[in-house]
């Protein structure tokens, strides 16, 4: 529906919390890629995700990392392109090696 609305009525601003939720692992990449392509030339698409496959589908230039050590700290907001990540991003996030 979001893709059709952006085509027919766009440009839209779409914020979708975990659009990959309840999708088969094999479908996540295709779904996220379709959303990226649909919003590339018109509209704005913002998504949150904890899914490693979804995270891998976005580039460093358009990915923002929200980070905090605990719920008492303010959230740090950094573009992924500004953060030095050694190795594969998802593995580094899981190990806790990515800190803005």
One domain, residues 79 and 30? no
Query: What's the pTM value of the predicted model, to 2 decimals?
Result: 0.65
- Angle (CA) 84-90-95 rounded to 5° is 80
Q: Which residue has the tokens 């890629």?
A: 33
One domain, residues 51 and 73? no
Q: Is the pLDDT of residue 100 over 80?
A: no
Q: Number of structural domains, the chain?
A: 2
One domain, residues 5 and 41? yes
One domain, residues 6 and 50? yes
**pLDDT tens across 24-33, in order?**
878 888 888 8
One domain, residues 33 and 46? yes
Q: 34 lies in which domain range? A: 1-58
One domain, residues 46 and 80? no
Distance CA 83, CA 42 (A): 28
């Amino acid at each position: 529906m979001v893709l059709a609305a952006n085509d027919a009525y766009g440009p839209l601003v779409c914020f979708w919390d975990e659009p990959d939720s309840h999708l088969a692992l094999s479908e996540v990449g295709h779904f996220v890629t379709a959303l990226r392509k649909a919003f590339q030339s018109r509209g704005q698409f913002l998504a949150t995700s904890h899914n490693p496959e979804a995270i891998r589908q976005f580039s460093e230039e358009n990915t923002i990392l929200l980070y905090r050590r605990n719920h008492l700290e303010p959230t740090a907001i950094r573009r992924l392109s500004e953060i030095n990540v050694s190795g594969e991003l998802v593995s580094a996030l899981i190990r806790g090696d990515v800190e803005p």
